[in-house]
Structure formats: C-alpha cells, structure tokens
Chains A and B, each alone.
Chain A
Amino acid sequence: MMETTEHKVLFTSKDLETDQEVRWCPGCGDYAILKSVQKILPELGRPKHEFVFVSGIGCSSRFPYYMDTYGMHSIHGRATAIATGLKSARPELSVWVITGDGDALSIGGNHLIHTLRRNPDLNILLFNNQIYGLTKGQFSPTSEQGKITKSSPVGVADLPFNPIALALGANGTFIARTLDRDPKHQQEIYKKAYRHKGTSFVEIYQNCNVFNDGTFEVFTEKSSKPEHTIFVEHGQPLLFANGSKGIQLDGMTPRVVDIIDNNVDQIWVHDENDMFKAYILSRFSDFESLPRPFGVFYINDNKPTFDGALNEQISERKLLNKKEAFNQLLVSKNSWRVE
C-alpha cells in the first residue's frame, strides 16, 4: 500500500505562504494545522498549481487565504458540494476541503454525508473544536451535552455527533482522526489521506483557546495523554499507556487490559480494512473508560471514485466531431424540409 517513490521537490513549504497576514487568534490550533499541511504538500510530488483548497465559513475556513495554491473561500457548509463539482469537472487536480464542526456537521451536514457516500477523490480536513468560534462562542454539533456556552447559559440540551461514526455510517472510504498538537501524526495522516483514491475524511481535534480552551487537553497534555489516547496503526496491537495497557475484544465488547507476561497476542490487532471493527473503534469516544483512538480507523481502496465514474461515462462515449454531431442531433428528431 505504502508509496515509497521519492519525489522531486518542485516547491518548498515557504513557497506556500501568501502575502496575507494570518488572522487567527494567537495560540489557535489552526496555526499548527496550516504548518503541517504546508509541510507535506511539497512532499507529494506535484506542482503547487495543481492543488486547490476549498473552504466554507468559520475560523478554519480562512485557511485557503494563507496557502499560495488555488483556493476558494465559499459559503457556509457548501465547500463539499463545490469541491465535488470542481473535482468532477477537473479530476486531475488535487482538491482539499477545509471545514469545521459547525460548517461540516451542522449547516453542511447533508452535503457531507452525500459526498462521503459518492466518494469523489477529495481530502476533507474537519477542524473540530467543539464550538462556534467565528460567531463568538455558541455550542456546535460536537459540543457535549450540558456545556455552558453563550447560547446555552444553562447547558446544551443537544446530544453531540460522533464524527467518525457518522462518516462510517455515510459509507466513507477513508476515515481518520488526528490532533493539532501532534504535527508528526498529522503529517502522516494527511499524506495517507492524499494517497487514498476516494473521499478522505480527517477529523482534527483543534483547540480554540478563546472560546473552548483546553477541551482536548486530556489528550494532549504529557501527564494525561498516555492513559487517555491510543494511536492505532495497521497490523499493530492496540496498546497504550506506554505499552502497559491494551484493548482486548470480548466478543463485540472492547475491554482495557493490563499487559502482563505474554498476553500481547490476545490484544486486538488493528486492521484498517475491517469495517466492522472500525465501527467498534469509532464508538470508543462514547465511553470514558476507553482511550480516545487516533490514526486511520478505516480505509476501503476498492470503491470507485465518483469523479472517476462520471468521467469514464463520458470518455467511453466521447464524440470526435461535436459540431457535426450536434447539428445532426438537431435534425434527427422527426424533422421536415419546407421548400
């Protein structure tokens, strides 16, 4: 699966910076994501004019202005729909969608699920900070129940979405999670997302230090990270807490076990092509007793891409002389001549 070809460097990360001042709040998690994307793009082996970043509305959606590629900052929730049209029309481009939890899961929820089921070859980076930042602090569809925000002074009544489970349910073919504070992990995931032919969905835990500071702290702080996170890798056992704990599957139920003696062979080995187990893994976040998984939950490389299918329908039927054929088409349906 892994590509090992060394690519000629066509541009550098520095070349991706624009003349626009980056206007995210100081300390925002978005900076780290921008840096990671700028880091990996030159490593993908294609010229920068072939990249397009399409975003919706929200803090994260300012992203395209800071990337010296092609880019469109569009309207709230619709980036996936615009990107689907662009990718279908121009399959040779590398099209990325930048979105947030409000943009993708609330106002753009419909487009997101339909994009996932159609599987155009897009890379969707969902910056999840569990809050509306740009509108100054209302709860989002990933905010936890009971959360106090500007629009929920006595606590959020809603129950939140689980973005990974949602993407699986919508037939996503590449589903991963990473976090702003781990650039190396991000870069690895973004490269994998790029390589996947089909829609790649990456949820990124991103800290909003103004309206929701520290919401993912338990997964990023040195002291709590080992006990609360598990970094899954294809073919590797699900180990965490510096290898002292693992996940065992008891029937369909995941359980945390201590690693003692030689029980590693009883630990669940991650298979990123196993959809059923990916569902179980996606539900870890519903239980505080289980560590939060990061990495690639699921990949299915066997599904056709939407842009590929559409373009194949056309290339198989393409007429050589369209002008002549069109004039013929005009007259072919029961025409008559008046002398």
Chain B
Amino acid sequence: MSSVKTKVDHVVVKFAGDSGDGVQLTGTQFAETNALFGNDIATFPDFPAEIRAPLGTVPGVSGYQIHFGSSEILTAGDRCDVLVALNAAALKTNIKSLKPNGIIIANSDGFDEKNLRLAGIDENDNPLNNGSLSNYTVYTTDITKQTKSAVAEFGLGNKESERCKNMFVLGIIYWLFDRDPANTIHFIESHFKKNELVANANIKALKSGYNFGETSELFSNQYEISAASYQPGLYRSINGNQATALGLMAASVNSNLPLFLGSYPITPASDILHELSKHKGFEVMTFQAEDEIAGICSAIGASYGGKLGITTSSGPGIALKTEAIGLATMLELPLVICNIQRGGPSTGLPTKTEQADLLQALYGRNGECPLIVVAASTPSNCYEMVYMACKLSLEHTIPAMFLSDGYLANGAEPWLIKTLEELPDIEPHFITDNPNQADYQPYARQEDLSRFHAVPGTPGMEHRIGGLEKETITGNISYDPANHETMVKIRAAKVENVADYIPRQEYVNGNNNSKALIIGWGSTYGSITTAVRELNHEGLDIAQIHIQYLSPFPKNLGEIIGNFKQVFVAEMNNGQLIKVIRDKYMVDAIGINKIQGQPFQVMEIKESIKQYLK
C-alpha cells in the first residue's frame, strides 16, 4: 500500500515512557538511523536519577528527544512535533512541550485505571477520551497487547514479551518517517548475540510495528525528511562522552604517552570511564579508585611517572579533588581534569544539565591557583577541546580542566571524523634520559615559563618535588617571603602565557559593527546560535561569540567586547561568566540565565534579547 508523503524540512520527535521501558535505547536507535540516512541530528536524553523510579509515576518518566532534518540542526528543539507517550505519566509530563497540532502516539494500555492513578490523574478523566487533546492529532493503540501477540510464537514470559514494546513503537516511527529498520535489526542481532530467542522476538516486534504503521490505516500519511547537504567526508554519530574518551585517546596516541585514567563512578561522567576501560590495546590504563581523591591522586602519580594523567568526574567529585588540583599546580605537572557538569550544589540534579561549575573551575581552590580551563560547545566538539586540554597541559606543565555537561555528555550529533593527522602535534615536557648528566634544575623555565620534568627512573636527575612552596629554579623548599610572591606571579603568568598558543576569538555571527553582542560558552552553543540566526533573519543585527578557552581568555576578547555598547552573557547558571567578563573588561553586561536543569530553548534566548532591544 502506498501512502501520501508529506515533505518537511525538520521534525522533533520525543519518546517518553517509564524509565524501564527502553526509551533511551529506542531514541538512540532512531537517532542513529536518521544520522546514517544523512539527516543532521541533535538529541536530548532526559531521564530520572533513579534507575527504576516507581513504575507509571511522573518522577519515573524517561524521555528522549531527537531533532532531525535536511538542513543544519543545532539544538534538540524547543518543542516537539511528535510525542510518543507509553503511559499516562509520560503524556502528563510532556504534553506542554508538544507543539499545537502536534501528533501524539499513545499506548492505550498505559492509560488504564492503574496507570492513570499512578500518574495522579482521575480515572474518570482519561486524557485520551475527555477531549483535552483536541488540539492535537492523537493516534491510540494498545501497543502492549499488539507487541505480546506479535511475539507470542517465541514463548517468552509475560514480562519479556512486554519488554519488546519499545521495538514495536520504533517500528511504527520508522514507518511514519519512512526509515529503513535495517540498522536496528543489526543492532538487535549483535546486542542479543547470546540470546537468539530474545533477539528474534525484538526483531519481530520491530517489523510488526512497521507493518502496523503501513497497514492499519491509522495514519493518514508518512513524512519525508530528505538528507541534509553536508561537507563531503566520513561521518559518524557521536555523543559528548564518547567524543571526550576518543579525544583523550587521540592525545595519548599523538603525544606517544600511555593514558592513565584515575576515576570514580559519577553521573554523568561514568561513560568516559566505561569507554576508556575498553581500549587496553591502546595502552589505556583505567583505575577505578576508592574515591574521587584517589582518582586524581593516582593520575598525579602516573603523570609524575611520565604518562598522560587524566581524571574524570562531575561537580561534587571535582569538589573532593580540589586539594589535589592544587598539588598538581604546585608541582607544575601536566594533568587533565574533566568536569562533566550537572545541576548543583551538593548532589543537586545528577542527571540534569547545568553550567554552574565555571567559577569552581576558575577559582575554586585554596591559595592563588590558576589553571587552564577549556569548554566544549557541542557533543562532537568534546573531541577537539579535550585534546587541546591535554596538549596545553603537557606543553605548558599546568593542570587543565575540561568542561562538558550532562547535555553534551549524552546528546548525539553527526560528526565529520577528524583523524589523528588532522590534529595538532603534541610535544610533552618530559625528560626520560640524560646522556650528558647536565645539572638538572627542576624549576628552571622555558620562555613561556613552562618547566621540564625529569621522570623517575631517569639516571642522574634525581630530585624532590612537593606541595610546599619552592625556591625558583632549584625547587627546594623556601619560606622566603619575596620568593613566594615571585612564585605566585610565575604560576599566574604561566597560565596567561598560554594565550599565545590558543586561537583568537572569532565571531559565530555578526561582526564589529553589529548592534549588540551575545556571549556564550559550553553547551549553549546550539541554542544561542539558532536564536541569533533567527534574530538576524528578523532584522536584528546581533553579533555572537562563543568562548571555548576560558582560562586564559583569547587575547583579542577584550577588543571584541569593547566594540559593543550592549553585551549579553547567556549561561545555564545564576551568572558566572558574566562576573568574570565584568571584572576583566569593565563592561556592564546583561545576564540571560536559566537554572532549571534543562538546556535553553531558542525562544527563551530570543525573547530575553528582544526585551532589552525594544
């Protein structure tokens, strides 16, 4: 049966269900298939902190939003066109993010008396038949029952059969958007390699869902979203944590230093540990430590031993590592600290995103303790920025902090693969042999103030380093007042000098002559860029810069800011970068802030700016 196909440029689909419904997997599969098809994509997985929050309840709702299209996609979308609601709680939680006239695909089994009660909805007020959804196109079917009958032939238990329902849903969606389920079939085959029965049942459910879409006449038409036009090259889909792990490995291979990761599990950073622990062939050593402190300290030990020492964590873990970051700064050893930020303070919002650790990264240590701080702006950009953190740290002998966040960590996008040859060289400042027994001074410096570290095991260069203040050049303990001031200034100047080795700040949109400037950093790149493009299109000439190097800042940052009377700083915190910008450049900047554990919507940024430019 051939159906009518409606051509659209881009669509936002949100899958929502119980946290045990396999929503994340369904979303990931759909995103990957669209990416393989050639669409540009951006995704936003949004899930509860509990592994299995109470079934059917509002806190237990897990969502996965994907924005895909035939033109450039920079955000996961403010609101969705299609909402797949596997139960009443999922509908209740997400209905506000569905566009007027949007499509709802609802699993009627998830709206029975029990599920309505669990969602806190009066059982006589089922939204599927009380008329409250009249502004939407609603497709209702008993997905649970259909899935069970589709897989009945495999003789699985009730629970196992029901568990295939996410594949049935995915099948429907594949049909609706005219996508080939082949990629997911391959995935199921390899994922359930050891359980053929379950694999076959899931494939059957997927195909049944697809066929249901085609034959049920439930849907009036299909949607056609053609491939985006891309720069030629080899692409893959990648999320921020994968990109971070690969970027770290790239730095290890290019610097010819085996990677040592000292880490402690924490959301949303753990996937970097998982990924790196798979790559022993690349001499990647992963140490799951007893706590955050041992994680960073072991990395300092490895770095002292001449390896690429890395530690990964999120805000609360970074807080625990603080003293050791100070030690690494004092020792002047390379070390890369990855902070995958989440909502804080304290335990805060473990699975939600926020940019509230910037001041912690810049200033959060005892004493005068400056670091190199860089931030990634998109999931795939984590690859290059964490690579740069390694490069700068190894070449300048300063610890570097890499900032990502929950949104980047779990969000996926297509990535034009960058091979090792396309990355800059790395020249570590480690000495591993000393043929001429020259008089080694551990704190003698290069022009950029970096030092060379003679690693233990190097003959003739035995020396001691430590956390006590040290004399310039010799590194011996020194309590001399003037020496301390000199050393504090040297450590600060050393970080400032890194500005000579990083790219100049460029505009993302606009130029020196634009009416106003908006500044962003980190994962807000997509929302701000989209907002500015739309404003420019509407006739408001706004310039945009996105800062990736936060300590030190690019040399020309002040010059750029100086061009504008009106400067906005948009960030997902209560105003942190703005403090630094105001302090450093004496500009009366205006903050655009959101602190809800959710990324900016394009609309929110646009409205904030318009309010001031009226």
By a beta-carbon cutoff of 8 Å, the part of chain A in contact with chain B is 18, 20, 47-50, 52, 54, 57, 64-65, 67-75, 78, 81-90, 92-93, 110-111, 114, 310-311, 313-314, 316-319, 322-323, 325-327, 329-331, 333-339
Q: Are B302 and A318 in contact (CB under 8 A)?
A: no
Once the chains are docked, how many angstroms separate the CA of A339 from the CA of B249?
28
Residues of A within 8 A of B293 (CB): 78, 81, 111
Contact between A74 and B457, CB atoms less than 8 A apart:
no
Q: Are B477 and A82 in contact (CB under 8 A)?
A: no
- Total cross-chain contacts (CB, 8 A): 201
Tell me if B290 and A83 are in contact (CB < 8 A): no
A83: chain B residues within 8 A (beta carbon): 301
A72 contacts across to B, CB distance below 8 A: 304, 331, 464-466
B503 within 8 A of A: no
- Cross-chain contact B297 with A88 (CB below 8 angstroms): no
Find B298's partner among A88, A330, A331, A339 (CB 8 Å cutoff): A88
Do A49 and B287 touch (CB < 8 A)?
no
- Asked whether B466 lies within 8 Å of A330 as measured between CB atoms, the reply is no
Q: Contacts of A327 on B, CB cut-off 8 Å?
A: 419-420
Against A, the Cβ 8 Å flags (1 = close, 0 = not) of B455-498 are: 11111111111111000000011000000000000000000000
Partner of B302, one of A65, A85, A111, A334: A85
Whether the Cβ atoms of A331 and B304 lie closer than 8 Å is no
Bound-state CA distance A64–B462 (Å) is 11
Contact among B234, B290, B306, B461 for A49, CB-based, below 8 A = B461
Are A18 and B464 CB-contacts (below 8 A) given A89-B305, A314-B280?
Answer: yes
A335-B417, A336-B38, A338-B231 known; A326-B294 Cβ under 8 A? no
Chain A residue at minimal CB-CB distance from B463: A70
Bound Cα distance from A248 to B161, whole angstroms: 67
B384-438 CB contacts (< 8 Å) to partner A = 417-420
Identify 6 new A-B residue pairs, CB closer than 8 A, beyond the known A86-B305, A316-B280, A336-B35: A74-B466, A78-B297, A88-B260, A89-B306, A110-B290, A334-B237
Report whether B282 and A322 are in contact in the complex, using a CB–CB cutoff of 8 Å: yes
Cβ contacts under 8 Å, B476 to chain A: 20
A107 to B319, CA, bound (A): 17
Residues of B within 8 Å of A67, CB to CB, are 464
Tell me if B299 and A85 are in contact (CB < 8 A): yes
Distance in angstroms from A63 CB to nearest chain B CB is 10
Report the minimum CB–CB distance from A171 to chain B (whole Å).
14
Give the chain A neighbours of B287 by CB distance below 8 A: 84-85, 88, 310
B residues near A329, Cβ cutoff 8 Å: 246, 249, 279
Q: Kindly list chain B residues whose C-beta atoms are within 8 Å of the C-beta of A68.
A: 462
Question: Is B5 part of the binding interface, using a Cβ–Cβ cutoff of 8 Å?
Answer: no
Q: Is B345 an interface residue (CB 8 A)?
A: no
B285: contacting residue among A47, A49, A88, CB under 8 A: A88
CB distance from A115 to the nearest CB of B (A): 9
B250 and A326 within 8 A (CB):
yes
Most A-side CB within 10 Å, residue of B232, B253, B306 = B253
Of B36, B299, B463, which one neighbours A336 at CB under 8 angstroms? Answer: B36
Tell me, yes or no, whether B32 is within 8 Å of chain A by CB. Answer: yes
Query: Which of B231, B234, B297, B326: most chain A Cβ within 10 A?
Result: B297
Bound CA span A314–B277, Å: 11
The listed residue (A70, A89, A90, A325) touching B281 by CB distance below 8 A is A325
Residue B189 at the chain A interface, CB threshold 8 Å: no
Asked whether A114 lies within 8 Å of B457 as measured between CB atoms, the reply is no
Tell me if B370 counts as interface (CB < 8 A to partner A).
no
Residues of A within 8 A of B468 (CB): 73
A317 touching B280 in the complex, CB below 8 Å, given contacts A48-B462, A72-B331, A330-B246: yes
Question: Does A114 lie within 8 Å of B301, measured CB to CB?
Answer: no
CA distance A180 to B537 in the complex (A): 80
Considering only CB atoms, which chain B residue lies closest to A77 in the complex?
A: B293
**B307 touches A (CB below 8 Å):** yes
The answer to the question of B574 belonging to the interface, with a C-beta cut-off of 8 Å to chain A, is: no
Q: How far is the CA of A339 from the CA of B227 in the complex (A)?
A: 13
In the complex, how many angstroms separate the beta carbon of A112 from the nearest chain B beta carbon?
Answer: 10
**A325 and B466 contact, CB distance less than 8 A:** no
Among A78, A93, A111, A331, contact of B305 (Cβ-Cβ < 8 Å): A93
Known interface pairs A317-B280, A334-B32; A89-B464 also in contact (CB < 8 Å): no
Q: A90-B457, A114-B294, A322-B253 are in contact. Are A82 and B231 (CB under 8 A)?
A: no
Determine if B460 and A49 form an interchain contact, defined as CB atoms under 8 angstroms apart.
yes
B interface: dominant SS: mixed
Question: In the complex the two chains form, what is the Cα distance from A313 to B463 in whole Å?
Answer: 32
Across the interface, A338 reaches (CB within 8 A) one of B233, B281, B459, B461, namely B233
Chain B: which residue is nearest A312 at the CB level? B280
Shortest Cβ-Cβ A-B pairs, 7 listed: A85-B301, A73-B466, A85-B298, A86-B301, A81-B297, A70-B456, A89-B302
* Residues of A with C-beta under 8 A to B234: 331, 335-338
Name the distance in Å between A323's Cβ and chain B's nearest Cβ: 6
Determine if B316 is an interface residue (Cβ-Cβ < 8 Å): no
| Residue interface mask B260-304, A partner, CB < 8 A = 1 | 101000000000000000011111110101110110011111101
Cβ of B610 within 8 Å of any chain A Cβ, yes or no, is no
Q: Does B100 contact A (CB under 8 A)?
A: no
Residues of chain A within 8 A of B301, CB atoms compared: 54, 81-89
Which residues from A are CB-within-8-Å of B417?
Answer: 330-331, 335
| B459 to A: closest C-beta gap in Å | 5
Name 12 A/B residue pairs within 8 A (Cβ), A-sorted.
Answer: A18-B464, A65-B464, A82-B300, A83-B301, A88-B260, A90-B307, A311-B285, A314-B280, A323-B420, A326-B249, A334-B36, A335-B234
Report how far A47 CA is from B462 CA in the complex, Å: 11
B309 proximal to A (CB < 8 A): yes
A86 touches B302 (CB 8 A): yes
Q: Which residues of B contact A323 (CB under 8 A)?
A: 253, 420
Name the contact of B233 in the complex, choosing from A54, A86, A337 (C-beta under 8 A): A337
How many angstroms between the C-alpha atoms of A314 and B230 in the bound complex?
Answer: 39
* Chain A: CB-nearest residue to B32: A334
Contact check, B280 vs A71: say whether CB atoms are below 8 A apart. no
A49 adjacent to B457 (CB under 8 Å) = yes
- Docked pose: A325 CA to B246 CA in angstroms: 12
Which residues from chain A contact B235 at a C-beta distance below 8 Å? 335-338
Provide the residues of chain B in CB contact with A84, threshold 8 Å: 287, 294, 298, 301
Q: Judge whether A330 and B236 touch: CB under 8 Å.
A: yes
Contacts of A111 in B (CB 8 A): 290, 293-294, 297
Q: Min CB distance, A138 to chain B, in Å?
A: 20
Question: Given A49-B461, A82-B298, A85-B301: A338 and B282 within 8 A (CB)?
Answer: no
B260 partner, pick from A57, A85, A325, A338, beta carbons under 8 A: A85
Complex CA gap A78/B464 in Å reads 17
**Alpha-carbon distance between A70 and B459 when the two chains are bound, in angstroms:** 10
